[in-house]
Structure 1
Amino acid sequence: MSVLHEYAADLTQATLPLNGGPAGPMTRFDEVIGPEGTLRPAWKGLASAAVTLTQTEVARLVREIASTLADDGVTYAHRGGPRPWRLDPLPLVFDAASWSRIEVGLAQRAELLNAIMTDLYGDQRLLSEGVIPAPAVFAHPGFVRAIARPSVADPHPLLLTGTDLGRDADGEWRVLADRVQAPSGLGYAMENRLVISRLLPDLYHEADLHRIDPYFVVLRDALLQCAPSDDPDPRVVVLSPGTHSETAYDQAFIATTLGFPLVQGDDLVVHDGSVWIKPPRWPHAKPVDRVDVILRRVDAEWCDPLELRGNSQLGVAGLVEAVRRGTVHVVNGIGAGVLENPALLPFLPAACERLLGEQLRLPATPAWWCGDRDGLERVLSQLRRDPEAIIVRTLDGVSAGDDLTPDELAVRIRAHPYRYVGLARLPLSQAPVWRSGGVAEARPLVLRAFSVRYGSAYRTLAGGMATARDDDGVPHTKDVWVLKSDPSEPDQGLPGPSPLAMVPSIPALAPRALADMFWAGRYAERAEDLLRLVVSTQGLLERDGRRAASAAWALQGILQRLSGTRWMSSADELRSLLVDADRAGSAAHALAGMRGALEGVRDQLSGDTWRVFSIADRAMEAARDSTHPPQIAESAERMLSGILSLYGVTSNMIRDTGWHMIEAGRYLERALQLCILLEATTSTDAAGAADRQVLDGVLLAAESLVTHRRRYRGYGRTRSIFDLLLKDLDNPRSLAFALEQVKVHLEAMPDSTGSTRPERLRDALGEALEAVDVAGLSAETDGRRPALAEFLAESAKSLRRLADAIAELHFEGGPPAVQMSSLALVEEMGRA
């Protein structure tokens, strides 16, 4: 039996109850199965492909979707940490007629919200005429007084809107909430579509649905057109709170897809009333890349520490003044968060008639503002009669009664009634969510839809993202399919984007982004070198004999120098070096550092980059689950193959400053790791046999064993090994080759002149290496090679000094931000 037949059969039995009441058949509107137990009209056209899906096939799809999302690095931060993104195999499907009613209502709502925001920050007619009560607006934390003046009011502050929808008891869609502060989810919606179309090709191609791609083209065009200047090449950036944001992936996806730089607050600076990408060595260097449009994903109160929230580290000091001057356009406008105020919901029908002269087409869930006498009595009465049928929220949308009894909540509301809003609890519709075993569970869902202002009108995305939540609150998402009324209908019903002048542009990278790329290269090389050392050590441990054990002990000494000593068995020690992310110097720690650095520049990278971490995560999981020593080497080799694939990805990057920084970091770290690795050869033994084992291990860890065998013969080869690893410019693993590459990449940086301190330090290192006598380094005295030990120590110290100099020249973006309380600011002004 197919999964849809089983699901339909289950719906004739007990399903999810309405409003916490007793369970019964078909207690919710089901998005797939109608009351008669047959497919809904939108699904009937897909029946030939959908009905044949079996439980085994769906279980396979669930696994493949999870694997694909992991390979793409799709995450969502929930309750303090990133979690894997969850996507259900079967979409939420609308036919053209059903979607048309939603589409018209969403376009009107976006136009209404834009008009309300323009009025609230301009003439404030709605407030003066009593259409919207002033306390409901001024008490909301999203109302930004700093821009509330008619002289600077933006006529089009809303470019992109998000709207959460749910069905009421009659199956009609109602607005649950407006998401206009910094609408999220459009990137996730596109990712969902990409995955489903790839893994369900038969169902996807059988459906004559609207593709999403044209919507992103129009969004990009709309952002470029709202630039305040006439520059033929306007600069647009996506302002992100950073990699710890719960929707960091969504922000990076949008930036990458639109082709705009992903920046953080510290990457920008306001100078002469305009916003610029901060240059290295600011404020001593003059900025050259002006920003015209900011698509912000930072909430308004954090956008400017000068005029808004003073302790913000996420915004740009002076941004509000730049907005007032009209030198930069912020999307959505600063202050849009006031429109997310649930207290506005009861007054939107009247506002729509006042501003647009129309009836509101898409109603919201019934809501009552407690600052109004009738609204207060309605909410208090509902709390006494049926508290489960109402949700009480504060003006900022936070649930107010989760930890209170109805009586306690009523007391709190009476104390400050204007702070609270009551909303009817909708039953919501349900749809099947499939588990890993291919078993469906009906869950209530919410639809998030999007609209963008393009030209003179708002266009609604034919699609979106549906979300059903587990009992633990973790979202399961569904792709949203809107079927065409006619196969010839253009995707999204959108006209082609307006032509723009083709102006070649090389986006500048802020110092923070350059630092992230530099450290990504260093962490990648650090992980690779440690993994090679683990493989070499494990190989020696698997051999019999005292000499192999002695050589393994020497290499373990290097590993412990890199990551500290844990006093465990050799197998546990090596396993810890693979999987313990809290252990500084371990492969897991290096990979975590690389992931963190690359997350900050995700817009610069190919999607293939994230498969590196997916491969490594699976290998580490295998190492954790197995106590078998050979599994250590196998997991290390799998992790190593993932790291090596990263070099294939970066080799296809454009040769801009970011790529040069990745390569500079990579080769600087290779040189440093080689110096540490060669320390294993500074001690010798009298017989020389164990010394040969150590040298072989070092060659293997440096990926030069085969090269050495091909180029040199015989066992009296200590000098040849040092020559190959230190001075051979044809060996990519040698110190000389690494230093030469560092030189090449530093010279390519805009701030390099040939005589900067990093270049001078690198030249000094090269000269010292060129002057060294390999025979002298190979000389032994009392079981040691003192000249080699001294040379390696000095080289490592110089390399660390070089890394600091690179950071000082290329990554410093001025002094760090300093928080000043209002009292401290007054005292500082008094002293002045």
Structure 2
Amino acid sequence: MMTKTKPLFENYFSESNNYDELLTSKLTIKDNWKLLSNNLVKIGPRNLALKQEDINWLLAENGVTYNVYNDPKGLNRPWDLNVVPYILHQNEWNLIEKGIQQRAQLLNLILKDLYGKRELLKEGIIPPEVIYAHSGFLRSCDQIEYKNSKHLLIYAADLARGPDGQMWVVNDRTQAPSGMGYALENRFSTSKIIPQLYTDINVTQPSSFFNDFNQLLLNIAPTNIESPMVVILTPGPHNETYFEHSYLSSFLGYPLVKGNDLVVRHGKVWLKSLKGLKQVDVILRRIDDSFMDPLELREDSYLGVAGILEAVRLNNVAIVNPIGSGILENPALIPFMENICKYFLNEKLILPQIASWWCGQEKERKHVLENLSAFVLKRIDRSKREHIYFCEFLDKKALKNLKKEIIENPYNFVAQQKISFSTAPNFVDSKLEPRKILCRTFAVAKNDSYSVMPGGLVRVAAEREELFVSNQRGGTSKDFWIINNNPQPYLQNYSWNKSNTNPSTTINDVPSNKAENLFWSGRYLGRTLVTARYLRMVLNQMAQVQYNTREPDSENLKILYSSITKITSTFPGFVGENAEEVLKNPLKEIESLITDETRIGSFAQSMQSFNNSYYSLRNLWSKDMWRVFDGIQKHIRKLKEEDAHTIFTLTTFFDKIITRLIAFMALIEESILVRQGLLLYFIGLELEISAMSIEKFRALLVISHNEDLTYEVLESLLNSHESLNIYRYSYKSYLSIENVVNLLILDTEYSRSLTYRLHRLKKDINKLPNTNKNGEMSICQKNIDAVISKIESLTIEDMLQVNPTSGMRENLDYLLSELSDLLHNTSLSISDTYFNHSQPQKQLVNRKIAN
């Protein structure tokens, strides 16, 4: 090894007996890696460390995440991409590609056979228990005939280098293979941040594969229509690869939907939009088989679509991959693959497999029981990773119990040879060290064969001697290069056929669930902003009177404290039975409203509710929006980590948060067209701000005070409304309640006035699709008209009359109370008209699907 490489490669090969991708047994760099290693050396450890930081920053800024269940760091963990790619030469890849195509073709034939003629069972090539004891074999899918010659449309293979130096197939993924989007993002990020790595290296780009993938989705539509409706079906934001679902939705241009966005009517699948139902032709699913149809499969599933299997039987919708394809992920098939390949193709497997023994056969079971410590044991029907047993690490008692299980239920287990995955260089702590890797590549059906992605996704073990290679266990990823001796185009050309896309052309076409999330995003964001501004105003007032923990003597502050509880509806707060006790330390109550997510109406709870809506819509948001959103989350986390809070720290927190919330709101208007659903966001935003403004007016304007106190209250109100400067410019006079009411409630030209907001709300509601066939006004329109009529029904003199007995402006209170009720009814009518989903359907006969 050259001397100049030592700082980067120091101790790289020490204490490792694994096959290494980079180095030969003589510690020389393999020919395929020489150009890359030279580029790494030229860049140097220091610059590589800086580039790694840049990649980490870019992925975090772009919101590239991987959901790790029960992770103390939070649900959305930033995706971890190592700066050093993994490479294979095209000469080696050619054989792997042929092996992937052969295996995909073979699995396609197995899938067709198991749900069709079942020749493999009849001829004794596969024992019946291998299939019928596996929950992946869905009897509801038996004998379904498909329009397409291929049933298996997408296939992913996990590959690892075996001890003989050949690539072995470790796992087959056929239900809803993940990783395609992450692989693409890895390529984009690496090429953007560290293009120096590519110097003099010809890297094959995956653009042709993704063009084939998109064309597949269009070609498999049951009917030969020019623009089939394609949707991507996701379990939702809490799924581990939800980022990828959103990413592919944005990248391919197809709507991202959940199960309750779809409904089956008359044997067809429909997307529920604001105007009505739109027929769906193709579903790219990211939901496991058994959850797809609660009527025929798991009745407790809220992820799928009731009745979708019947639509499949009628060939009215194409699903990628077909429901029931999970049977192919059964590891008990591996021992029989050679014979299956010979039976169907009269060929030998091109890619070797891990040696496997199904314990349902007496001879194989005896061999496994006698040598159990030497094997890795798997259940044939496993849904949890904990069902993998590395027997060499089990004590005598555990081995005894495991042997007992095998004897009692032998057909449930497969034993596999323990192999040590090869290692590849990972950049860690300014040097390279070997880490075990697992490669995943993808194939999609194309004509008579399969198109294979050049490269794919590489997963890397979390620690140097870690056996598991898993993102759930803290592993990282790599860009996967296929290098070529011939020059390759650097630019990646993803050119979809524009005539075959299905964008939402009008507001009528927006999916109802997407519209609902946009509506509530507006409401939660409006509530968060109003609450933040109001609490900041109160904190500033507290600072002005030099507040301390003793009972305040400012009457204005007492009114403001009480108004906080009323505006946010966080009762009992400052107005309950223990109000006197709470008032002794009002900062504690305010702190709770800022940080306690369990308090309904608090700033923290409103922010959390907005977060949920935000993640549900992340395929719509721009990268700039994610950056601003991530900045908001960082400030919130930092506040929670502080041991003690003061008026100053809380005020500073709101100064930063409010600025970012306003920036975020501005970016929303840049990211989505009105016809794509922005209209629903506007309606939700205006509804919530109007409703909270009404509560603010009721809390501060209804009760009459003396002149000095009235001045303080009005100034506080204008400050919380960001309207004090506007007032001074408009009236150039001493604060009066008449002028404040005119400005904040009645002014038809001031964008923050209640009347202006309500007129804008009416204008937006009138743009919603009218579901009345006779052309009459919708209930929503009637409700908002009643709101406008009500606010225009009283003069300012009527509103400001004070009852001398009660000291209240009762007409104003009555008006505001009625407006509040009418706005609430308007919100309900919008939900009932446009967001109401069908009632859940139940199975007539219960079918138990194993976990």
Q: Is TM-score (shorter-chain normalized) higher than 0.5? A: yes
Deviation at 1:96, TM superposition (A): 2.4
Q: Encode CA deviations 1:499-533: one digit per residue, 9 max, x unaligned.
A: 85688763833322221111011011111111111
Is the aligned partner of 1:777 residue 2:799?
yes
What RMSD, in angstroms, separates the aligned Cα atoms of the two structures?
3.1
Deviations 1:292-330 (A, max 9, x none): 111111111111122222232222222112111111111
- CA deviation map 1:587-606 (0-9, x unaligned): 33222212212333333333
Q: How does 1:44-59 map to 2 (within 5 A)?
A: 44-53=34-43, 56-59=46-49
Structure 2 counterpart of 1:764, which letter?
A
Letter in 2 for 1:651: E
Give 1:260-409 correspondences, 5 Å limit: 260-278=254-272, 288-383=277-372, 386-387=373-374, 389-396=375-382, 398=384, 399=387, 401=389, 405-409=398-402
**Is 1:415 aligned to 2:408, yes or no?**
yes
CA distance in 2, matches of 1:230, 1:153: 11
CA drift at 1:462: 1.3
Give the direction of change, closer, same or farther, for the CA distance of 1:258–1:74 in structure 2 (3 Å limit): same
Report the CA distance between 1:122 and its aligned residue. 1.6
| Cα pair distance change 1:700/1:499, threshold 3 Å | closer
With over 3 angstroms needed to count, the CA separation of the structure-2 counterparts of 1:479 and 1:552, relative to structure 1, is farther
Name 1:445's counterpart in structure 2: 437
Of 121, 141, 152, the residue aligned with 1:147 is: 141
The TM-score, its normalising length taken from structure 1, stands at 0.89
SS in 2 for 1:609: helix
Partner SS for 1:634:
helix
Where do 1:357-756 residues align within 5 Å?
357-383=346-372, 386-387=373-374, 389-396=375-382, 398=384, 399=387, 401=389, 405-434=398-427, 438=430, 442-470=434-462, 473-488=473-488, 506=505, 508-544=509-545, 549-561=554-566, 562=568, 563-564=570-571, 565=573, 567=582, 569-626=585-642, 627-652=645-670, 653-656=672-675, 658-682=677-701, 687-751=706-770, 755-756=777-778
Instruction: Measure, in 1, the Cα distance between the counterparts of 2:728 and 2:246.
Output: 47
Shift of 1:133: 2.0
Instruction: State the Cα distance separating 1:175 from its structure 2 match.
Output: 1.2
Q: Paired residue for 1:11? A: 12
Distance in 1 between the 2:5 and 2:744 partners? 63
Task: Give distance in 2, aligned partners of 1:265 and 1:553.
Answer: 49
Per the TM alignment, residue 394 of structure 1 is displaced from its structure 2 partner at its CA by 3.0
**What amino acid is the match of 1:98?**
E
Residue 86 of structure 1 aligns to a residue whose secondary structure is coil
Q: Deviations over 1:76-100 (max 9, x none)?
A: 2323462313222322222322333
Q: Structure 2: which amino acid aligns with 1:474?
A: G
Q: Matches of 1:542 and 1:465 in 2, distance apart?
A: 55
Note closer, same or farther for the CA distance 1:252–1:27 as it changes in structure 2 (3 Å cut). Answer: same
Residues 496 and 249 of structure 1, relative CA distance in 2, 3 Å threshold? closer
TM-score (norm 2): 0.87
Task: Please tell me whether the aligned partners of residues 203 and 488 of structure 2 are also in contact (alpha carbons under 8 angstroms).
Answer: no
Task: Give how far 1:168 is off.
Answer: 2.0
Matches within 5 A, 1:815-826: 815-818=839-842, 822=846
1:699 partner letter: L
Query: In structure 2, what is the Cα distance between the partners aligned to 1:536 and 1:4?
Result: 60
Given that 1:551 and 1:690 are in contact with CA atoms closer than 8 Å, whether structure 2 keeps it comes out as yes
| Cα distance in 2 for residues equivalent to 1:335 and 1:279 | 29
Higher mean Cα deviation, 39-48 or 349-358?
39-48
Letter in 1 for 2:505: I
Q: 1:672 offset after TM fit, Å?
A: 0.7
**Preserved contact between residue 465 and residue 478 of structure 1 (Cα < 8 Å):** yes
Alpha-carbon distance change, 485 to 573 in structure 1, aligned in 2, over 3 angstroms: farther
CA distance in 2, matches of 1:429, 1:152: 41
CA distance in 2 between counterparts of 1:463 and 1:27 reads 26
C-alpha displacement at 1:235, in angstroms?
0.8
CA apart distance, 1:765: 0.7
Question: In the alignment, is the contact (CA less than 8 A) between 2:376 and 2:418 conserved in 1?
Answer: yes
Change (3 A) 1:153 1:795: closer
Alpha-carbon distance between aligned partners in 2 of 1:456 and 1:10, rounded to the nearest angstrom? 49
Q: Distance in 2 between matches of 1:215 and 1:189?
A: 12
How far is the alpha carbon of 1:33 from its aligned partner? 4.3
Q: Distance in 2 between matches of 1:548 and 1:734?
A: 32
| 1:624 CA displacement | 2.7
Unaligned runs of 5+ in 1: 14-23, 825-832
C-alpha displacement at 1:226, in angstroms? 0.8
d(CA) in 2 for partners of 1:397, 1:806:
41
Q: Is the CA contact (8 Å cut-off) linking 1:578 and 1:620 kept in structure 2? A: no
2:606 aligns to what SS in structure 1? helix
Question: Shift in Å at residue 171 of structure 1?
Answer: 3.3
**Matched residues in 1 for 2:708 and 2:202: separation?**
72
- Tell me, yes or no, if the aligned pair for 2:82 and 2:478 is still in contact at 8 Å: yes
Cα distance in structure 1, aligned partners of 2:495 and 2:336: 37
Residues 371 and 419 of structure 1 are in contact (CA less than 8 Å); yes or no, is this contact kept in structure 2? yes
2: CA distance, partners of 1:102 / 1:731: 67
The farther-off stretch of 93-102 and 483-492 is 483-492
Per-residue deviation, 1:207: 4.4
CA distance in 2, matches of 1:55, 1:533: 50
Structure 2: distance between partners of 1:577 and 1:65: 37
- The answer as to whether partners of 1:696 and 1:705 remain within 8 angstroms in 2 is yes
Specify the alignment match of 2:780 in structure 1.
Answer: 758
Equivalences, count: 803
More displaced stretch, 209-218 vs 665-674: 209-218
2:131 aligned partner, one-letter code: V
Provide the C-alpha distance between the structure 2 equivalents of 1:698 and 1:720, rounded to a whole number of angstroms. 13
- Measure the CA separation in 2 of the matches of 1:502 and 1:153: 21
Deviates more, 1:263-272 or 1:329-338: 263-272
